[in-house]
Amino acid sequence: MVVRKSDRSSDARSPLIQVTQPLQIVVIPMLQSINNSPDYIGSGFASPLQINVQGGIQLSAKTSNIEESIYIILRTDLGERVYRPAFGSRLSELMYEPLNLQTLLQIRLYVEEALQMWEPRINLRGVQTEPDPIRGKVNITISYQPKGSHDIRSLVYPFYLASAPEKPYE
């Protein structure tokens, strides 16, 4: 294909760019190769940032990268990131809420919507909440499957609704 600019001074009605040969579009079946290889999961800096044995920055790959990403999504409040204000979850809105059925259902809803929005590498299979009223926390069990894999994994994320009750002084 040859693309050239036309001279506007010669003809006022001529287009700026003329194509001398028709365009050919080639479709490469990349999606199949992406889904069949675990490389699409990627790798990145470990979270929290750590130094490895060689003195470089610790990297995480494959399923550990997905788990770290889930933790980052759930720990980040909406509006916390300046250039991506919609990133994160709404879990912080439930801080200091009473530990009842409505709060447990909202936790499940907020986790599901955040992970479906921000973690495209997984198929979310379920979210369960297990309250621990003595410690003032809810264990959130996230069941997921990495896309392109038959491996079903689960992750427990502790969410604290309030600080632990203090013991009275004796």
pLDDT given for residue 47 in this prediction:
65
b or e along 117-129 (b: 16 or more beta carbons within 10 Å of the residue's beta carbon)?
Answer: ebbebbeeeebeb
- Domain carrying residue 79: 25-160
Is residue 101 predicted with pLDDT exceeding 80?
yes
Q: What is the mean pLDDT of residues 156-167?
A: 75
Per mean pLDDT, which range of 46-50, 87-91, 137-141, 147-151 is the poorest? 46-50
The verdict on residue 44 lying in a domain is yes
143, containing H or E segment:
strand 137-146
Find the CATH number of the domain harbouring 97. Answer: 3.10.450.40
Is residue 119 predicted with pLDDT exceeding 50?
yes
Bond prior to 38 in cis (omega within 30° of 0): no
Closest-CA residue to 124 (of 158, 80, 73, 75) = 73
Q: Please state, in angstroms and rounded to a whole number, the distance separating the CA atoms of residues 104 and 56.
A: 41
The verdict on residue 154 lying in a domain is yes
Place of tokens 């609704």: 161
The verdict on residue 67 lying in a domain is yes
The verdict on residue 18 lying in a domain is no
**Is the model's pTM score more than 0.75?**
no
Q: Please state, in angstroms and rounded to a whole number, the distance separating the CA atoms of residues 66 and 18.
A: 48
Q: Are 127 and 140 in contact (CB under 8 A)?
A: yes
Considering its fold, how many domains does the chain have in total? 1
Q: Please state, in angstroms and rounded to a whole number, the distance separating the CA atoms of residues 54 and 95.
A: 40
The verdict on residue 11 lying in a domain is no
b or e along 77-114 (b: 16 or more beta carbons within 10 Å of the residue's beta carbon)?
Answer: ebeeeeeeeebbbebeebeeeeeeeebbebbbebbeeb
Q: Please state, in angstroms and rounded to a whole number, the distance separating the CA atoms of residues 48 and 57.
A: 11
pLDDT given for residue 162 in this prediction:
75
pLDDT given for residue 57 in this prediction:
77
The verdict on residue 2 lying in a domain is no
Q: What is the mean pLDDT of residues 66-78?
A: 92
The verdict on residue 29 lying in a domain is yes
The verdict on residue 20 lying in a domain is no
Mean pLDDT of the chain: 78
pLDDT given for residue 59 in this prediction:
72
